[in-house]
Each structure stands twice: as C-alpha cells, then as structure tokens.
Structure 1
Amino acid sequence: MPKHWLRLLLSPLVLALTTQAAAQDTPTRIDAQSSFTRQVPLVSVLEDASGKMSFDEVRASGAFTPAPAIGTNFGFTSSTWWVRFTLLNPGEDDRHIVVREDYPLIDHLDFWAPEHAGNWRHVATGDRTVFSTREFNHRDFLFDLEIPAGEQRTFYLRAASAGPVDLNLEIYGQHALVGTLSMEQLAYGAYYGGFIVLVLYNFFIFLIVRDRAFVFYLLYAASYGLYFAIHNGLAFQFLWPDSPAWGNQALIVMLSLSLVFGMQFTRSFLDAPVFAPRLDVLARITQALALVGLLASFFAPYSLIILPVSILTVVVTSLIIVLGTIGLIKGYRPARFFMIAWGMLLSGVMVYMLKVFGVLPHNALTQNAFQAGSLLEMVLLSLALASRVRELQRQSRTDTLTRIPNRRAFDEVAAIEFDRARRGGVMALLVVDIDHFKRFNDEFGHARGDEVLKQVAEKLVNGVRQGDHVCRFGGEEFALVLPATNGEDAARVAESLRKLVQETSSADAPITISVGVASTEERKFESVDELFRAADSALYRAKHAGRNRVVRYAAEADHT
C-alpha cells in the first residue's frame, strides 16, 4: 500500500488522540501553491487570566473562541494568551512551511507542534530568553513545520509579556519566505542607511556652523535609531543575543533618551525659553520624567515602566507640536519644516500606539507607521536645520531695530558691487545721516528716537529701486549701495530721499537728513573703503554747509 494512503487512513485516529478540541477549528489548506504564497491561518484563542494553565489543560479545554475580527493584538495585558490553529494538507506530497510571528518583543513565546506517535515538539523562546533558543537566526519568531500528505495537524502557541501581546501569525512557503525576507532586508538597509547618512551629514554641518541644535539633533537621531533597532529585534539579534534582560531594559533606556534629546532639540531649535517660557517649564518637566523612567529601568520591572513611558511619548510629541505651532505663528521660518516633520512622526506614533493598545489591528501599516514616520521626520528635521542655518545667517546680517541689512551685510554687498563696477560697470554709494539726532534723543527720549530710526529706514527702502541696497551702518547713519548708477543719477535719488524724509516727518518733531554721494565714475577708487571715505567726506561737507542737503563727492574738494 502506498505510503500516503497509509497516512490518510491513520490520520483520523492520530487526530483524535492528539487534538481533542481541534475539530471545532476550520483548517487552513496548505496546497501546492503554498510554497509561493503567504497565508494568515484561521485561529482560535483562549485567555488564561491566571497564566498557570498547563499545555494538557489547554488541549482539553473547550474555552477556545474564534479570534476577534480586529485580530489577535491584545495590547497591554496581564493575561497569558493561547492560540490554536489547524493546517490541512489535501495533496499527495508532504508540505514544508514556516510559521512566523512578526512582533519580536514578546517576552515568552511557546510553540507546540504534533509529531508522530502522539509526541509534541515544544519550542520555548521569546525576547526574555537568549537568542539561540530560536529555530531560525532571525529577528522575528519563525517555526519550521511539516504537514504530511493527506493529513491535518493542530498547533498551539502560548504568549505572555510584560509589554503588549501582539500576535500576528502568518504561514509562508519556502519560496515566499525567501522573497519576503529579501525585501525586508532591503527596506531595513535603506532605513538604517538613511539614518546613518543623515547623522554623518549633520555632523559635518555641525563642524562648520557650531550650532548646538545640531548636537541635540545628532543625539536624538542616534538614540532614536538605536531604539528602533531594539524595537525591530535587530539589536537583540546582532548586538546582545546573550543578554535578553539588557535587551528589554535598553528599549526603555533608548526611548527615554529619545524623549530627552528630542525635547532638548526642540527647545534649542525654537528658542523655547524665550518665546514660550511657561511651556518651556513643562518641557523640562517632561524631560525630567523621561530621565526618571530611564533610571527606574535599572530597578523597577519592565511591566511597571513600559506603559507610563509609552504614554509620556505621546505627551512629549504633542507638546513638541504645540511649541512648533507657536513658533510658526510667530513667523519663525524654519518652524515650517519642523512642523511638517513632527506632524509626520505624530501621525506614525498615534497609529502605532493605537495598535499597541489593541484599538487598531496589527498589519504592515500599523506595525511600521512609527518607523516610517520617524525616517520622514529625520529627513525633514535635517531640512529644518538647513533652514535654521539660513535664518541665522539672515539674522546676523539684519539690524534688529530697523529690520534692514546691517553693517556686515553692507560690507559684503558693497564689495560685490564694487568688484562688478571695476570690471566695466558703475556704482554709487550714498551715506545718510539723520540731522541733530542726539539732540532729538535728548529732547524726545530714546524710545521716540528708535521710532525715528525705523521710519527713516522704511522711507529709504521705499524710495529706491528693487535692486538697490539700504543698510544701517551704525547709530543714526545709513549706507545705500546703488548698482549700475552714475553720480548724477545717484544725486537725484539722494535728493528725492531727502525730500521724502523731510515732507513726511511730524510737525512737532521735524526730521531731516544729510546725504553724501560718491560714484565710481568720479575717479578710479582702489577699494570699496576708499569709495566709502569719498561719500563720507561729501556727507561731512553737507553737514558743515548747514545740513538737510545732498553733496556729491568732488576730487578737487578733497585737496582744498
């Protein structure tokens, strides 16, 4: 008699002896196509609230119920959960498959598979045991199964964890498993490779700009990247396979450090102590709580800490969003990238946390939402840092009172335009001084004097062309660079500015200006400093002649 017919005749007897309650389960068919496909088995579940039921008691129990429609993610629970499923091989050949549980942070995971003569193969593993207890050298839990031809077999799995009990069983044929693992390796390589590139890129930028916000970004990215390596099971597989206790504690440590450095980066990036002092106090409190969680991980059990730290993660992320919103409202330009970045992460955090608490089902989207959001966040935060550098550069070249370019900006633009003029063009320089400004301050006060400075700056900006440059040179003195402008045209511009200031000043406190004009067509100037001295000497003559007037530079006057 053929071997497979003998198995077919004996299978009902074996099934009756080894799986008493399995007849209630709908078997999942394993056929010839299963080698190339991924299947989700139909499972029944049993909750063991005491956590003390033995395998024999579970097999004899009639308390198994069909899995909930939302799936077998039970979230944080003190119960032990049992899963039962039946596989049917209707073909004439034995089928070799692999069962996969893709949540690697389950503390204790036991698997029972029936063998010949009524024996059971028991695999006791989990992330609280050394990595070598696994049948496959892989970050997830993989169990090797063989279903004889013409038979059905029932399997049991027991899960208990101080963290979420998130069960997501899948059945893979050998070809399907190889393809899936190859794609996952590619995805994880791209993910962590992207993290490393971002860290190195921003490290080199830090060496150039020396902005401490980059330091906190680097610390945040490093701790967050390592946290995800733990969360994915890769750190346990490659970094500490013989230290399961540290592997669980490291999850809390790295998550806590991520919260501390992420919040510190936010406070530094947005200058929170200045623009939101009260919220900054709350931010420091959350940092202190994260440090408490980190220290507690060395003394308190994982089950006592993981839930508060998970809740704190949501609180910290929400607070960061609030701080970023305030920065955006106040017109801080880099806050735009910052808000988009943290919005991406917050979306991922919310989806993942809803999965952790059992509200959303376990699938590829909910399991990896946190991680996908974090990579997008890191990329966008890198752009935000670049925007911050540009903003700092702009601020360093902007006068804080009048909001126009300052002396540093003048030096740069004047040098550029002077070099262009020496190559065959022309440029003019105006030096403007507010008449009797010290007396005005003494009579009306410095606050009123500051208003005058802002008003004059505004009139100068509005009175010139789009490509001209108005800068505050210092005190009550302004300097204007007029590209492609000869001396005669520059004098006309200066006169129109003088009239504009005089005619629009208030009657009770009249304001006038004196202007010195110099152009590269007047004579051959050797440097932009020499050109400025020429315009400044013309200003001196204007003030000496009675103020409220425009005087052009004349080479002859310099020698009289």
Structure 2
Amino acid sequence: MIALLRACLLLLLPGLVQATSLSLVEGHTPLLAGPALYVWEDPQGQADIDSVRQLPQSAWQPVARRDASFGYSTHAYWLRLSLHNPADQPINWVLLIGNPLLDSLDAYGLDGERVYQAGDQRPFEQRWVDHRQLVLPFTLAAGEERELILRMQTDGSANLSASLMSAKAFNHHEQSTLLLQGLFFGALLVMMIYNLSIFIITRDRNYLWYSLFVASFSLYQFIQLGFALQWLWPQSPIWHQMSFPFSSALATLFGILFAHGLLDLKSQHPAYSWITRALIACSLLVMGLALSAPYLIALIGSFVLLVACALVGGVFIALRWHDGYQPAKLFALGWSALIIASLFSVVSGTGLIANSLLTLHAQQIGSLLEMVIFSLALGVRIRQSQRAEQLAQAQLLANEQQLRHEQAKSLKLQHEINESLETRVQERTASLQAALHELSAANQKLAELNRHDGLTGLLNRQVLDDGLERMLAQAKRSGRPIAVLMMDLDHFKRVNDEYGHLVGDACLQHAARRMQQRMRRNDLLVRFGGEEFAAALSDTDLFGAIDLAEQLRQDLASTPCIHLGLNISLSLSIGVYSVIPGPDCEREHLLRHADNALYRAKANGRNRVATHEPGLLGNA
C-alpha cells in the first residue's frame, strides 16, 4: 500500500528532472540531504555503478522528503546528490547517515575512485571512520561541484536519514550527542542496579522483572543506536541483525512479567493469567524467529507483538483501574509513555512519518518517563502491602483477645462444676490473673506508645485532639486566652528529593527537638502529619503566641540540621491563632483558623509567621 502511494506521487511529478546542486555553507546547523536527493529504484538489485551512471535524466525521481525513507523494502535504492563548494578555499565535510541499522551502503564519488562500503551486515572495520553510524567524510576544493551516488539496500527500514555538516560541526554534534547518550544509559544502569538491590533485600520478584526489563531494553537501545556493533560484536554482522528483534522480544517478555506482578493479576480472574501466558509464549516465539527465520519476518513479528501487548495492556490497566487498584493509575501513565513512544518509532520506520531526532530518540524519552512513573507505582504497591499487613496484625490481635476471653470463661465454668479442685483452680486463676495483669500493663504501654509519633517522639494527632479539647474547656471556665500554632517545614519535599528520606527523617527529628526546647511544661506540641507540627498554648494571648512563634522560626532558621556530614538549612512557616473562647468555640474552630494563618504565611513567601487576621503582623 505504501509503495502504491509512493508510485502515485511520483507519477504526478514531471518526467524530466533537472539536477540542482546543494551549496555547502559552513554553519552549526546540519543540512538535510533528503530534499536535494534523486532516487532510482532497482527492484532486482543487480545494477552496477556503470549502468547507473548511464541512466537517462528522466529515470531519476526527486526524493522530495527530508529523511529519504522508502519503508520496509528489500529493493536496492540508488540516490544521487550534487554538491557545490561556493567558498574560495577547500572544505572538509561529513555526510552522516542517521540509520545505524542499514544492511549495506555503497558511496561513489567521495574520494576519487575509492568506494565507500559499509553497513551493519559488513565487518565494522570496513568503515572509513570508527563510528556507530555511517560517517562519510569528503573534501571539496574551492568552487568545486561534485556528484555523489549512493546505493542503499536493507532487509529492515530503508531509511537514509542523511545530513551534511562540516567536520568542525560534526565534532561538536558528536560530543553533545555522546553526552546525552551517556546520561541516558547511565540512568538506565542506575535504575537497574537500584531495583536489583531492592529485589535482593526484599525477594519481591517484581523488582527482578523490572531490573531485567531495564537491562534488556538498554541492550535493545544499544543495538538500535549502533553502539553494539561498534563495541560488542564488530565482527559478527549476522548476530547483530538477529539481535535487534531478539532484544525487542526479550524486553517485551520481561515487561509482560513485570506488568503481571505489578497489577496483581495472579489474584484476579484466571483469564488474566491465561492471556499473560499466551503473550509470554508469543514473545518466546518471536525470539525463536529472530534466531532462525528471515530478518524481515522476525522484525514484523516483534512489531506485531508490541502492538498486541499495547492493546492487551491497555485493557488490563483499564479493568484494574476500574477495580480501584491504586498502582494501575500510575502504571497507565508509564505504560502509555513507553508504548506511544515505541509505536511512534515503529511507524517512522515505515516512512509514513518523517524520520527526525524526535522519532530517533522517541523510545529513549518515553523510557525515561516510564522508569520514573513505574518506580512510583512500585512504591504505591509497597505502601498498600504494608497497610494490608497492619490490618492483618490488628485482626490477629483481636482474635488473640477473643481467645483469652474464651479461656477465662472456660476456667470459670470449670471452677463451678468441680468444687473438689477449688485449690488448683484458684492457683490457676491467680496465674491467669497475673498474666492478665501483665497483658494489661503491656496494653497500657502500647497505648502510651500509640500516643507518640514513632519518628520524632512527639505526641501525635490523636493526643492533640484530646488535649486541645481539655485545654479549651479549661480556658472557657477561666476566661483566659488559648492559642494554637500550625507549623510547616518549608520546601521539605525538596529535602527528601535531594538527600533522600533517611536524611529527611533526621531533619524532622532535629526540628522536633528545637521546638520542644522552647515549649513550656503545660504546652502541648505534636507532630500533626508529614512535615507539619502543631502546638496548643494555654493562657497565651496573641502577642505571646506570636513571640513564641518568632522564637521557633528564628531558632530553626539559625540552627541547620547536621547529619552524616551534611549541613541542611531548614525554615518554618507558622500560622498563629489566639482567642478567649466563648461557649460555642470548638476545637475545629481553633485548628481551622490556625491552618488558614499557616496558608497565609506560605502564600506570603514562607519562613514567616502569619495570624488569622491580616494586618496584625507584618512580614517576618
């Protein structure tokens, strides 16, 4: 169908094409060779350079597109390009072929009678320049006009993606490209090692599948960008051709296993697992085709597998999302980013859309987005597992208490029935009472622990609710003011993102200690949640509360957290509310107004104290 459309377009062009030269003017922007190219298609691939040079002018047709792409075709394509040096001195230029997967490329006219012959189905040592892509250097004398003829033939995408640039511009372009590629593969390596480490610690296979997926996807990208032929197997062009669909199918296989685990499909309807097994079998089949079947068949098989996984994955994600499974939302974003980018890259190979830097690196961009989002999805899944474990522990404790209650009833019944064993029963009862006493003491200790925040040692939100209710009742009886401070560590998410959550925990503990040192004995300081703290101050008017808030803010701002050699500056935004409570004043009233004041402090630039009523306090 693509070939038919191309033929129709060519019929609309004039039969006689006048060749025009492309003037080479040095600059930093590469020149696209596609619009200046002319093509002659050789379906049999039997023509030689002499017969091609004797072709009439009317046999050549303009490429008329930037990337010189002819879709997936095994035909040979001869391309002609006229170049002109308008300068008054010789110039050194480079013709860069942006498709590292071309099987063969011959170039005539670059260096006298010397023929450039390269491609990924030829030994790497034949290339004039040791480069992952096909680099064709040439020199034009002052005012010289030269005709280059290229012969391209491949079993994959017949896409030339040629650009022209000066040798100086090429060196600059190569340095920036290698920097970006190094960052990309470095990010993949870090993600693989990180998830593999978590697997070793937790034995959660989802992290293993994800690590293997990242590793196989990295290999796939290494092959697609030409690095593999340059550095891994320069003398094995046959394996290089097989490795591309093989690595694609391998990455798809581990992606399927990871998706099956992350979406928790094993615990759902058996149809999920059946379909997953079928996709796994298809992945193995494509891997077998890559090793035994013709390249084009294996390549099409890998594309079909990718489309099938995209459709099935989309349906699975939608169903799990509908079931209320939280990680499915994040997985949907990551899956969409990678699949859309992959399909975009596949479609560009057919020639339906022009090849560009965006299409060449679409999978890299999509994979980086996918890695970040999938990591968040794994975190959400771990949090859900922890919550389920906590609920199971609570249920186990309830069952244990019920069992102890039934044991007590059984002992009492035995005492009533067998009076002859009264002494023994009394001893056992005394023992049981001692055990119950110990259990009661343990429960009291547990209740006390439940009153405190496990990280900072401060009292928790529940204690604030009870204590504030009691302090409010006392203030109503005495007619004395009561104040509430709502405090929030500024930009704390940035601390976690930059230094890690362990350092963030140390900062929370440091802030709690600094606040606790400023509190009176009858004041109530609690960790309200996350990086937020609250304090209830009895017998404290607005100015006294503002004074204490400024002390807290200045003290924390002047005392950075020192942890593991790091010096981390922290600041507080504080909302203050003080009132002599009336009969209708409630605890929620105090918290709400103090929280509104806190939002005002943050809106005014953070690291400041604000009150419920604007104008009572200037900027700190």
TM-score between both structures, scaled by the size of structure 2: 0.61
Deviation at 1:252, TM superposition (A): 2.0
Partners of 2:337 and 2:371 in 1: CA distance: 10
Pick from 29, 41, 45 the counterpart of residue 51 of structure 1.
45
Partners of 1:221 and 1:406 in 2: CA distance: 44
1:88 counterpart = 2:80: no
Deviation at 1:412, TM superposition (A): 11
> Which structure 2 residues correspond to residues 57-76 of structure 1 after superposition, within 5 A?
57-62=51-56, 63-69=59-65, 71-76=67-72
Pick from 198, 201, 216 the counterpart of residue 205 of structure 1.
198
> Which structure 2 residues correspond to residues 540-555 of structure 1 after superposition, within 5 A?
none
Who is 1:543 aligned against? none
> Which structure 2 residues correspond to residues 476-491 of structure 1 after superposition, within 5 A?
none
Pick from 189, 197, 210 the counterpart of residue 196 of structure 1.
189
Question: Does the 8 A contact of 1:35 with 1:97 survive in 2?
Answer: no
Question: Does the 8 A contact of 2:452 with 2:459 survive in 1?
Answer: no
2:355 alignment partner, SS class: coil
1:30 counterpart = 2:24: yes
> Which structure 2 residues correspond to residues 150-161 of structure 1 after superposition, within 5 A?
150-161=143-154
Partners of 1:330 and 1:413 in 2: CA distance: 36
Deviation at 1:242, TM superposition (A): 1.2
Partners of 1:204 and 1:415 in 2: CA distance: 37
Deviation at 1:317, TM superposition (A): 2.4
Deviation at 1:385, TM superposition (A): 1.1
Partners of 1:280 and 1:289 in 2: CA distance: 14
Who is 1:443 aligned against? none
2:391 alignment partner, SS class: coil
Q: 1:46 to 1:379 in 2, by over 3 A?
A: same
Who is 1:295 aligned against? 288
Pick from 140, 164, 172 the counterpart of residue 171 of structure 1.
164
Deviation at 1:321, TM superposition (A): 2.3
Question: Does the 8 A contact of 1:112 with 1:155 survive in 2?
Answer: yes
Deviation at 1:69, TM superposition (A): 3.3
1:334 counterpart = 2:327: yes
Partners of 2:155 and 2:444 in 1: CA distance: 64
Could you tell me the percent identity over the aligned residues?
A: 28
Aligned residues: 410
Deviation at 1:269, TM superposition (A): 1.0
1:244 counterpart = 2:237: yes
1:190 alignment partner, SS class: helix
Who is 1:390 aligned against? 383
Q: 1:414 to 1:163 in 2, by over 3 A?
A: farther
Partners of 1:229 and 1:407 in 2: CA distance: 57
Partners of 1:344 and 1:405 in 2: CA distance: 45
Who is 1:111 aligned against? 107
Deviation at 1:482, TM superposition (A): 8.3
Q: Which runs of 5+ in 1 are unaligned?
A: 1-20, 428-465, 469-480, 490-560
Question: Does the 8 A contact of 2:17 with 2:61 survive in 1?
Answer: no
> Which structure 2 residues correspond to residues 7-22 of structure 1 after superposition, within 5 A?
none
Who is 1:496 aligned against? none
1:127 alignment partner, SS class: coil
Q: 1:198 to 1:150 in 2, by over 3 A?
A: same
Question: Does the 8 A contact of 1:425 with 1:484 survive in 2?
Answer: no
Partners of 2:453 and 2:351 in 1: CA distance: 68
Pick from 97, 100, 103 the counterpart of residue 101 of structure 1.
97
Question: Does the 8 A contact of 1:397 with 1:405 survive in 2?
Answer: no
Who is 1:7 aligned against? none
1:24 alignment partner, SS class: coil
Q: After superposition, give the CA deviation of every residue in 1:172-225 in whole Å (9 maximum; x if it has no partner).
A: 101211111111011101100000111111122223322111111111111111
Who is 2:308 aligned against? 315
Who is 1:459 aligned against? none
Pick from 15, 29, 32 the counterpart of residue 40 of structure 1.
32
Partners of 2:128 and 2:207 in 1: CA distance: 43
Deviation at 1:399, TM superposition (A): 4.8
Counterpart of 1:58 in structure 2: which amino acid? Answer: V
Partners of 1:123 and 1:269 in 2: CA distance: 50
Q: After superposition, give the CA deviation of every residue in 1:115-168 in whole Å (9 maximum; x if it has no partner).
A: 5xxx52211110011111111111110001111111210101111111111111
Q: After superposition, give the CA deviation of every residue in 1:357-391 in whole Å (9 maximum; x if it has no partner).
A: 11110100111112211121122111211111111
> Which structure 2 residues correspond to residues 227-376 of structure 1 after superposition, within 5 A?
227-376=220-369
Deviation at 1:273, TM superposition (A): 3.2
Which of the pair has the greater relative contact order for Cα pairs under 8 Å at 6+ separation? 1
Counterpart of 2:389 in structure 1: which amino acid? Answer: S
Q: 1:405 to 1:307 in 2, by over 3 A?
A: farther
Q: 1:406 to 1:54 in 2, by over 3 A?
A: farther
2:291 alignment partner, SS class: coil
Q: 1:294 to 1:412 in 2, by over 3 A?
A: farther
Q: Which runs of 5+ in 2 are unaligned?
A: 1-14, 402-442, 474-620
1:351 alignment partner, SS class: helix
Q: 1:420 to 1:348 in 2, by over 3 A?
A: closer
Counterpart of 2:161 in structure 1: which amino acid? Answer: N
Counterpart of 1:75 in structure 2: which amino acid? Answer: G
Partners of 1:176 and 1:365 in 2: CA distance: 20
2:95 alignment partner, SS class: strand
Counterpart of 2:449 in structure 1: which amino acid? Answer: I
Partners of 1:424 and 1:204 in 2: CA distance: 31
Deviation at 1:282, TM superposition (A): 2.1
1:417 counterpart = 2:409: no
2:94 alignment partner, SS class: strand
Question: Does the 8 A contact of 2:452 with 2:458 survive in 1?
Answer: no
Q: 1:247 to 1:415 in 2, by over 3 A?
A: farther
Deviation at 1:171, TM superposition (A): 0.5
Q: 1:114 to 1:394 in 2, by over 3 A?
A: closer
Counterpart of 1:372 in structure 2: which amino acid? Answer: I
1:397 alignment partner, SS class: helix
Q: 1:78 to 1:209 in 2, by over 3 A?
A: same
Counterpart of 1:74 in structure 2: which amino acid? Answer: F
Deviation at 1:344, TM superposition (A): 0.7
Deviation at 1:304, TM superposition (A): 2.2
Q: 1:92 to 1:300 in 2, by over 3 A?
A: same
Partners of 2:457 and 2:72 in 1: CA distance: 76
Who is 2:604 aligned against? none
Q: Root-mean-square deviation (CA), in Å?
A: 3.3
Q: 1:82 to 1:426 in 2, by over 3 A?
A: closer
Counterpart of 2:118 in structure 1: which amino acid? Answer: T
Partners of 2:444 and 2:386 in 1: CA distance: 14
Partners of 2:400 and 2:346 in 1: CA distance: 52
Question: Does the 8 A contact of 1:399 with 1:405 survive in 2?
Answer: no
Question: Does the 8 A contact of 1:337 with 1:380 survive in 2?
Answer: yes
1:139 alignment partner, SS class: coil
Counterpart of 2:450 in structure 1: which amino acid? Answer: E
Question: Does the 8 A contact of 1:220 with 1:261 survive in 2?
Answer: yes
Q: After superposition, give the CA deviation of every residue in 1:500-519 in whole Å (9 maximum; x if it has no partner).
A: xxxxxxxxxxxxxxxxxxxx
